[in-house]
Structure 1
Amino acid sequence: MPTSPSQTPFHPKRAMVLAAGIGKRMRPVTATVPKPLIEIAGRSLMDHALDRLTKAGVEEVVVNVHYLADLVETHVKKRKAPKILISDERGALLETGGGITKALPLLGDEPFYVMNSDSFWIEGPRPNLDWLARAWDDSRMDALLMLAPTVTAIGYPGPGDFIMDKDGRLARRIERTVAPFVYSGTAILSPRLFADAPQGSFSLNVLFDRAIEAGRLFGIRMDGTWLHVGTPEAIREAEMSVSESAA
């Protein structure tokens, strides 16, 4: 069951979009186009993410860049909203955890949204970013992940990531089983999560595991349909799903 929304919802004003990845599984598409700029339904994955953040009331977004960095930077700086700040990783790719850690001075002291640049979904009855913010409880959480049901995720062939209890607290998938939920690539994170974080390049999963041990990693089941746009074949599948949802 998802975490119950709080009575006094917190709405993050800052966010980070992770856009530095090389996109190996998307080759040959990503040989000349960075994955964040691949288009689905007439807009780039990056713009889909930034549009949703703007609609949720986010005012500033940090975008990290590494692979084909000039193309990504030029693209996002054309936008009027939200305000874009660049975290430059041209010198070294830092992965998800290292990239956010590097950008923390730009993100401030309050909890913030984080989105993978390819985090893409078809909305249900409730806007998912608003629902995520309403469920945030700063006294109990260091991270709140937006989760998709594993069996209904489109384009996702994996066994899932997390088990969620009735209070929304998360545990890792048991080995050789299928977990009911997969991480959608969208979350609210507290700067507390990054206390004593490793140096250099590391996965955000390192910090998620620490939060699990402390009982402070939570999740909420998203509305709508999550699409895993991870391969060239998945682009067409995503296009078809968007077209069918609009019919």
Structure 2
Amino acid sequence: MTAPFSHAMVLAAGLGLRMRPITLTIPKPLVPVAGRTMLDRALDALDAAGVSQIVVNCHWLGEKIRDHLAGRPKIVLSPEEELLETGGGVTRALPHLGDAAFFVVNADILWTEGAVPALERLRAAWDDSRMDALLLLHPTATAVGHDGPGDFFLEPDGRPRRRGDAARAPYLFTGVQLLHPRLFATAPSGRFSLNVLYDRALAQGRLAAIVHDGGWFHVGTPEALPAVEAKLPA
């Protein structure tokens, strides 16, 4: 039996189209923000949380991600010849992720910690008896570099609810989460979004969420880089 929370996956296979021309030669996770790559920031947070094995998928300029990770011994690389999106990427990596709940982190976002590190808060909030997925949300109004309408409402019992037809929702999904392998028991094959599985878990009452109490930053375009760097703490 795998120890809970000892495994993680970092999603680093995106094309980074909106970040061009920077991402013509650098995969988006390796774009430096305030002197450190987004991928390294995610890996550092997982290291601090005591994760013992981390899978990193890659596709666009994947050899650069491979070379960048050469000095990190606990990394398993999951190269994708064809882009599998978030759901397909995690499904392909499941043999390396154990049989207990594991972290999944997007490699193209940044966050700063609140009073307690975000991954520790997710770990403390996890209830294996009633959850298959636990999402970290952030207030839409205070997200830096994000101008979307938000993703979720949050019920008093911690259950998220999709924005649906509402013009705006108070919370967005941060790209940081805990997932259990059983979430993937009936997953589609090939390329698909994790949203497919979130909706199934939501319908079964097994999708939960907590709200991040630190900062959250999205670097979507080259023009957003200076604005995000200006707001990141020194």
Provide the TM-score with structure 1 as the length reference.
0.91
Report if the CA contact (8 A) 2:58-2:65 is conserved. yes
Match of 2:152 in 1: 162
Shift of 1:119: 2.5
1:110 is matched with: 100
CA shift digits 1:106-133 (9 cap, x unpaired): 1110110000001311222211110111
Query: Is residue 32 from structure 1 mapped to residue 25 from structure 2 by the alignment?
Result: yes
1:151 paired to 2:141: yes
Q: Is 1:223 aligned to 2:196, yes or no?
A: no
Structure 1: runs of 5 or more not aligned: 1-9
165-174 vs 16-25, greater mean Cα deviation: 165-174
Q: How big is the shift at 1:177?
A: 1.9
Partner of 1:88: 79
Q: Deviations over 1:91-118 (max 9, x none)?
A: 2110000000000011110110000001
For the Cα contact (< 8 Å) 1:11–1:57, is it kept in 2? no
Residue number among 9, 31, 35 corresponding to 1:16 in the alignment: 9
- The one-letter code sitting in structure 2 at the alignment partner of 1:180 is P
Distance 2:46 2:128 in 1: 20
Alpha-carbon distance in structure 1 between the residues aligned to 2:202 and 2:163 = 12
Deviations 1:72-102 (A, max 9, x none): 011112225xx0001120x211000000000
Using the alignment, how far apart are the partners of 2:22 and 2:156 within structure 1? 41
| Superposition misfits of 4+ residues, deviation over 2 angstroms | none
Give a deviation string over 1:15-66, Cα, whole Å, max 9, x none. 0000111011111110100001001121110000000000011111000011
TM-score w.r.t. length of structure 2: 0.96
1:11 Cα deviation from its structure 2 partner: 5.4
Cα distance in 1, alignment partners of residues 139 and 38 from structure 2:
21
1:175 and 2:165 aligned? yes
Q: What one-letter code is carried by the residue in structure 2 that aligns with 1:103?
A: A
Q: Return the alpha-carbon distance in structure 1 between the equivalents of residues 217 and 108 of structure 2.
A: 9
Quote the Cα distance in structure 2 between the aligned partners of 1:146 and 1:76.
Answer: 26
Superposed CA offset, 1:144-189 (max 9, x none): 0010100000111000001111111111003142111100000000
Aligned to 1:232: 222
Task: Please state how far the C-alpha of 1:202 moved relative to its aligned partner.
Answer: 0.4
Matched residue count: 232
Distance 1:111 1:48 in 2: 22
Amino acid at match of 1:179: A
